[in-house]
Amino acid sequence: MGASKIVIVDYGLGNLGSVERALKKVGADVTVGNSSTLIERARGLVLPGVGSFRDCIINLKKLGLVEPIKEFIFSGKPFLGICLGMQILFTQSEEFGMTPGLNIVRGKVVHFPKIRGLKIPHMGWNSIKILKKALLLEDTPRGAYLYFVHSYYVVPEENVVATTTEYGVEFASSIWKENIFACQFHPEKSQSTGLAILKKFKDMVK
**CATH, residue 197:** 3.40.50.880
pLDDT the model gives residue 13: 81
Per-chain mean pLDDT for the chain: 95
All residues at 6 or more sequence positions from 142 whose CB lies less than 8 Å from its CB, including other chains: 129, 130
Q: Tell me if 132 is assigned to some domain.
A: yes
157 classed as catalytic: no
Q: Tell me if 1 is assigned to some domain.
A: no
Q: Tell me if 66 is assigned to some domain.
A: yes
Q: Is the separation of the CB atoms in 57 and 98 below 8 Å? A: no
Per-residue pLDDT averaged across 57-61, rounded?
A: 95
Which of 95, 122, 150, 186 is flagged as catalytic? Answer: 186
Task: Write the pLDDT tens digit of every residue in 7-40.
Answer: 999 998 877 999 999 999 999 999 999 999 999 9
**Is residue 2 predicted with pLDDT exceeding 50?**
no
Task: Write the pLDDT tens digit of every residue in 79-101.
Answer: 999 999 999 999 999 988 899 99
Per-residue pLDDT averaged across 198-204, rounded?
A: 97
| Buried/exposed 191-205: b ≥16 CB within 10 Å, e otherwise | eebbbbbbbbbbebb
Which of 56, 83, 122, 183 is flagged as catalytic? Answer: 83
Total number of domains constituting the chain: 1
Q: Tell me if 38 is assigned to some domain.
A: yes
**Is residue 3 predicted with pLDDT exceeding 80?**
no
183 classed as catalytic: no
> Rounded to whole angstroms, how far apart are CA atoms 112 and 129?
19
Q: Tell me if 97 is assigned to some domain.
A: yes
Q: What is the dihedral of CA 64, 68, 70, 73, to 10 degrees?
A: -150
Domain hosting residue 92, numbered range? 6-204
Q: Tell me if 18 is assigned to some domain.
A: yes
Q: Is the separation of the CB atoms in 71 and 40 below 8 Å? A: yes
Per-residue pLDDT averaged across 58-65, rounded?
A: 96
Distances (CA, A) of 170 to 5, 83, 137, 192: 35, 17, 19, 24
122 classed as catalytic: no
Q: Tell me if 105 is assigned to some domain.
A: yes
Pairing of strands 44-47, 79-82: parallel
Query: Minimal CA–CA distance to 33: which of 25, 41, 1?
Result: 41
pLDDT the model gives residue 97: 85
Q: Tell me if 47 is assigned to some domain.
A: yes
> Rounded to whole angstroms, how far apart are CA atoms 94 and 54?
10
